[in-house]
């Protein structure tokens, strides 16, 4: 059950962070959840789970920092590649930034990931789990099931919508009745508004 809460809370905080950063840096409000039906940013949710599983056994601060920096860079790079080649889209491109690695991550971002991992492992995750475990077992289980169903349904809607958005950009629009429904409900205008940073 803990993994569901870690994913949801981290994904929500990631969405808040991205949305506030865009508002402060660009002066515009953009939905930065990366999802259609939930406020849980999958990059932050999956990143928090990777941190939880990969770093929870490390005791020394410098180990957490180094492994966290490498893990953050690998995750950011991998997610970018997977999104591009599976869904036909890219949500970030750092080609213009110094010390970038294939435009998918940068050395400064990796150092930030290392620092963030240190803070998460030392303070944030223990506090988060302490709060979650303060909820009685029955309620915690019910909330976890609701969150899990919400996340799964969101993935089942968001991933096909992104894939078909990329297909439309390449000139393909077929795929049967379900694709027709998705293409109609999540049309190009909706996708551009909901994923303003995405390139297809």
Query: What confidence tens digit (pLDDT) does each residue in 8-18 have?
Result: 999 999 999 98
Q: CA 104, CA 83: separation in Å to the nearest integer?
A: 11
Copy the structure tokens of residue 64. 């957490």
- Residue in 178, 176, 169, 161 with CA at minimum distance from that of residue 199: 169
Whether 23 maps to a domain, the answer reads yes
Q: CA 68, CA 75: separation in Å to the nearest integer?
A: 10
Whether 61 maps to a domain, the answer reads yes
Whether 187 maps to a domain, the answer reads no
Contact in structure between 49 and 151 (CB atoms under 8 Å) = no
Whether 95 maps to a domain, the answer reads yes
Whether 7 maps to a domain, the answer reads yes
- Residue in 62, 58, 40 with CA at minimum distance from that of residue 149: 40
- Residue in 52, 45, 43, 69 with CA at minimum distance from that of residue 121: 52
pLDDT surpassing 90 at residue 196: no
Q: Does residue 101 sit in helix, strand or coil?
A: strand
Contact in structure between 46 and 7 (CB atoms under 8 Å) = yes
Whether 111 maps to a domain, the answer reads yes
Whether 166 maps to a domain, the answer reads no
Residue 10: other Cβ atoms inside 10 A: 25
Copy the structure tokens of residue 142. 């019910």
- What range defines the domain where residue 145 resides? 2-155
Query: What confidence tens digit (pLDDT) does each residue in 25-79 have?
Result: 989 888 889 999 999 999 899 989 998 999 988 889 999 999 999 999 999 999 9
Q: How many domains does the chain have?
A: 1
Query: What confidence tens digit (pLDDT) does each residue in 125-144 have?
Result: 999 999 999 999 999 999 99
Q: CA 144, CA 65: separation in Å to the nearest integer?
A: 30
């Amino acid at each position: 059950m803990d993994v569901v809460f870690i994913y949801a809370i981290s994904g929500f905080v990631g969405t808040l962070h991205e949305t506030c950063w865009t508002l402060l840096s660009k002066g515009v409000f953009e939905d930065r959840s990366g999802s259609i039906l939930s406020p849980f940013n999958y990059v932050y949710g999956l990143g928090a789970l990777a941190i939880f599983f990969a770093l929870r056994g490390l005791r020394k601060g410098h180990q957490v920092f180094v492994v966290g920096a490498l893990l953050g860079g690998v995750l950011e790079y991998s997610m970018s590649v997977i999104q591009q080649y599976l869904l036909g889209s890219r949500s970030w491109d750092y080609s213009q930034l110094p010390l970038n690695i294939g435009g998918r991550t940068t050395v400064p971002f990796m150092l930030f990931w290392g620092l963030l991992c240190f803070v998460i492992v030392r303070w944030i995750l223990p506090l988060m789990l302490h709060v979650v475990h303060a909820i009685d077992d029955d309620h915690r289980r019910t909330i976890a099931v609701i969150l899990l169903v919400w996340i799964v349904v969101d993935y089942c809607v968001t991933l096909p919508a992104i894939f078909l958005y990329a297909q439309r950009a390449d000139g393909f629009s077929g795929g049967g009745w379900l694709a027709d429904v998705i293409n109609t409900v999540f049309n190009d205008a909706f996708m551009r508004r909901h994923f303003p940073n995405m390139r297809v």
